């Protein structure tokens, strides 16, 4: 099969377009013919080697985390899916590889594709949808009437998280450029801060939850806009000891993670704020709940651009430039 392969870590490297063997199908997996694959900043960060300490992949590696496609074959233990089903998923860590013609996905990580969505729209959802769900529903337990600050509202995670938070009944603040203010307001943002001309710390106060996705400077400010007892959930770091425990990292890695986050955790504790790092995981059940919201019209996908399969490296560069409104997708077939 055709696939885009990473041969070695490189900050500005490109993926090699190659013929590779089809993936082995395990008993609890489903073989999916890839119709579309989402492209994420996570792919660029793995290519650059930023996660090699916590995700020590063997090379060569087929990249890609989001998939929408059609079931070709099922493992002997699979009961929920059958040949011909239209499905979507975020592939599990160490079983990624959606930038290819075929991928094997765990049954427990897969869900039926939402009715009414194209393959490209469906492929835009899993990683950002599960990130928003695990941050706002699972970790923050966001409730009606609470206030949440979602950074980078026009990005992939931001466009989904705004809609989810609004569905949950929260008041939503976000940052965006003046040019993207209309987009984030249409998704449900109540307070829109122009990050080029305004300091969010001067606008926001007494928030219940912050979904942090920016740099360490924004992290320090975010702690100060939360009320006592508030929660800050970061998807950009620093990783905390709970994360190291969750991924069953070796002892020395856990120590490194503890040290990396020590300052942030101390500042949060002094302010009476909960801090946690989120590295989202594949989860078919949560994806099914997201499907229900999409089919009910509560959430819509936001796709910036669809690239042809042979332009995958260009799609990755476009995502890395940080200007996408919503998600970037590759059309595989």
Confidence of residue 244 (pLDDT cuts 50, 70, 90): confident
- Could you give the maximum distance between any two Cα atoms of the chain, in Å? 58
pLDDT of residue 9: 95
Mean pLDDT of the region 277-283: 96
Q: What is the pLDDT of residues 45-78, one digit of tens each?
A: 999 999 888 899 999 999 999 999 999 999 999 9
How far apart, in whole angstroms, are the C-alpha atoms of residue 66 and residue 88? 8
pLDDT of residue 321: 93
pLDDT value at 323 more than 90: no
Confidence of residue 245 (pLDDT cuts 50, 70, 90): confident
Confidence of residue 100 (pLDDT cuts 50, 70, 90): very high
pLDDT of residue 200: 98
pLDDT of residue 253: 85
pLDDT value at 32 more than 90: yes
Q: Residue 206 corresponds to which tokens in the numbers above?
A: 């007494």
Tell me yes or no: is domain 2-125+301-331 CATH 3.90.180.10: yes
Question: What torsion, rounded to 10 degrees, do the Cα atoms 177, 183, 186, 189 define?
Answer: -30
pLDDT of residue 263: 93
Mean pLDDT of the region 120-147: 98
Q: How far is CA 263 from CA 27, 211, 230, 235, 244, in A?
A: 44, 19, 18, 17, 17
Q: Domain spans of the chain?
A: 2-125+301-331, 128-277
- Topology alike, domains 2-125+301-331 and 128-277: no
State how beta strands 102-106 and 29-39 pair: antiparallel
Confidence of residue 320 (pLDDT cuts 50, 70, 90): very high
Q: Is the pTM of this model over 0.85?
A: yes
How far apart, in whole angstroms, are the C-alpha atoms of residue 41 and residue 58? 20
Q: What is the pLDDT of residues 214-230, one digit of tens each?
A: 999 999 999 999 999 99
Mean pLDDT of all residues belonging to the chain = 96
pLDDT value at 243 more than 90: no
pLDDT value at 237 more than 90: no
Please name which of 80, 88, 78, 83 lies closest in space to residue 112, comparing C-alpha atoms: 88
User: Regarding predicted confidence, which is higher, 239 or 168?
Assistant: 168
How far apart, in whole angstroms, are the C-alpha atoms of residue 115 and residue 139? 28
Dihedral sign of CA atoms 44, 48, 50, 53 in order: positive
Mean pLDDT of the region 260-275: 94
Mean pLDDT of the region 79-108: 98
pLDDT of residue 294: 98
How far apart, in whole angstroms, are the C-alpha atoms of residue 302 and residue 200? 24
Tell me yes or no: is domain 128-277 CATH 3.40.50.300: no
For the range 225-231, what are the long-range contacts, defined as Cβ-Cβ under 8 Å and sequence gap of 24 or more? Answer: 225/149, 225/200, 225/201, 226/271, 226/273, 228/271, 228/272, 228/273, 229/272, 229/273, 229/274, 230/273, 230/274, 231/139, 231/140, 231/273, 231/274, 231/275, 231/276
């Amino acid at each position: 099969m055709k696939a885009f392969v990473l041969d070695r870590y490189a900050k500005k490297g490109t993926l090699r377009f190659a013929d590779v063997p089809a993936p082995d199908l395990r008993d609890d997996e489903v073989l999916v013919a890839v119709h579309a694959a989402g492209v994420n900043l996570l792919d660029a960060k793995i290519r650059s080697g930023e996660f090699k300490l916590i995700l020590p992949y063997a090379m060569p590696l087929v990249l890609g985390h989001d998939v929408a496609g059609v079931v070709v074959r099922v493992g002997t233990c699979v009961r929920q899916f059958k040949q011909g089903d239209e499905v979507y998923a975020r592939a599990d860590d160490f079983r990624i590889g959606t930038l290819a013609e075929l991928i094997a996905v765990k049954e427990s990580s897969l869900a039926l594709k939402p009715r009414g969505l194209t393959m490209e729209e469906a492929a835009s959802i899993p990683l950002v949808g599960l990130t928003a769900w695990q941050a706002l529903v699972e970790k923050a337990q966001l409730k009606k009437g609470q206030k949440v600050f979602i950074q980078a509202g026009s990005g992939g995670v931001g466009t989904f998280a705004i809609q989810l938070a609004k569905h949950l009944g929260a008041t939503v603040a976000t940052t965006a450029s003046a040019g993207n203010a209309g987009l984030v307001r249409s998704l449900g943002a109540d307070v829109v801060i122009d990050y080029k001309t305004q300091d969010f710390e001067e606008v926001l106060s007494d928030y219940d939850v912050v979904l942090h996705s920016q740099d360490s400077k924004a992290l320090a400010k975010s702690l100060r806009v939360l009320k006592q007892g508030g929660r800050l959930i970061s998807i950009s770091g620093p990783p905390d000891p709970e994360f190291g425990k969750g991924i069953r990292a070796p002892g020395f890695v856990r120590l490194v993670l503890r040290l990396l986050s020590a300052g942030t955790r101390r500042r949060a504790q002094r302010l009476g704020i909960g801090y946690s790092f989120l590295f989202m995981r594949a989860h078919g059940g949560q994806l099914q709940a997201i499907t229900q919201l999409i089919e009910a019209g509560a959430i819509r996908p936001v796709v910036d651009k669809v690239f042809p399969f042979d332009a995958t490296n260009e799609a990755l560069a476009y995502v890395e430039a940080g200007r996408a409104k919503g998600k970037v997708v590759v059309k595989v077939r």
